[in-house]
């Protein structure tokens, strides 16, 4: 009998990420995942009881990485530098924005593990939002950002700008520079 192909945890999470982006939560199945990894479904079931456990575990892992990066923004540099660093980090993980909606779709089916992971996901999302919100409030307090524009609008504008598709195929560096320029000159008081 042939031995089952082995796969790493990173391969599993990377493939889960790609399949979720392509097929969404509803289209994601263990059959599709097994086919893509070239393993049996049983090999995946040995690690996770169902797709909800896998997806929630993957999402917690991914958001924890983003959370750590956002917390590592150098607070010793001027605020515009911090905002620049924030946008660079958010752009690096721009596809994760889609996963916030997927997180809400995960059915817990009474699984204590999934219920716990969903709580962690919600907490991570709130903490990441707070990090960005604190920078926005600091910008308003330092008279760098326009106090008349609601903070939630600034936050939403920043995140949605990052998610804007690059349909014209600009080089990534040029694209993110243009997004930053739009955000900075669209939300700053200085013209």
Give the tens place of pLDDT for each residue, 26-56. 999 999 999 999 999 999 999 999 999 999 9
Confidence of residue 3 (pLDDT cuts 50, 70, 90): low
Least confident of 40-49, 133-142, 182-191: 182-191
Q: Which alpha helices (H) appear in 73-162, and where do they start and end?
A: 79-92, 96-105, 112-141, 151-162
CATH fold of 74-187: Tetracycline Repressor; domain 2 (1.10.357)
| Average pLDDT score over residue span 69-84 | 92
SS3 content of the chain, % helix, strand, coil (to 5): 70, 0, 30
Domain parsing of the chain, residue ranges: 74-187
Taking all residues of the chain, what is their mean pLDDT, rounded to a whole number? 88
Task: Report pLDDT digits (tens) over 91-124.
Answer: 888 877 777 778 778 887 788 999 999 999 999 9
């Amino acid at each position: 009998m042939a031995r089952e192909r082995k796969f790493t945890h990173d391969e599993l999470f990377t493939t889960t990420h790609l399949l979720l982006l392509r097929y969404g939560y509803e289209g994601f199945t263990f059959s599709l995942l097994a086919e893509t990894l070239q393993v049996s479904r049983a090999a995946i079931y040995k690690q996770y009881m169902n797709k909800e456990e896998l997806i929630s575990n993957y999402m917690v892992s991914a958001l924890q990485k983003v959370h750590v990066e956002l917390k590592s923004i150098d607070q010793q540099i001027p605020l515009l530098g911090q905002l620049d660093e924030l946008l660079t980090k958010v752009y690096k993980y721009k596809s994760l924005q889609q996963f916030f909606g997927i997180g809400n779709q995960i059915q817990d089916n009474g699984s204590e593990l999934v219920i716990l992971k969903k709580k962690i996901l919600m907490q991570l999302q709130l903490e990441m939002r707070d990090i960005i919100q604190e920078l926005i409030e600091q910008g308003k307090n330092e008279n760098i950002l326009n106090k008349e524009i609601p903070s939630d609008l600034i936050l939403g504008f920043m995140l949605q700008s990052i998610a804007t598709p690059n349909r014209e195929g600009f080089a990534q560096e040029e694209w993110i520079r243009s997004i930053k320029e739009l955000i900075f000159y669209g939300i700053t008081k200085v013209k």
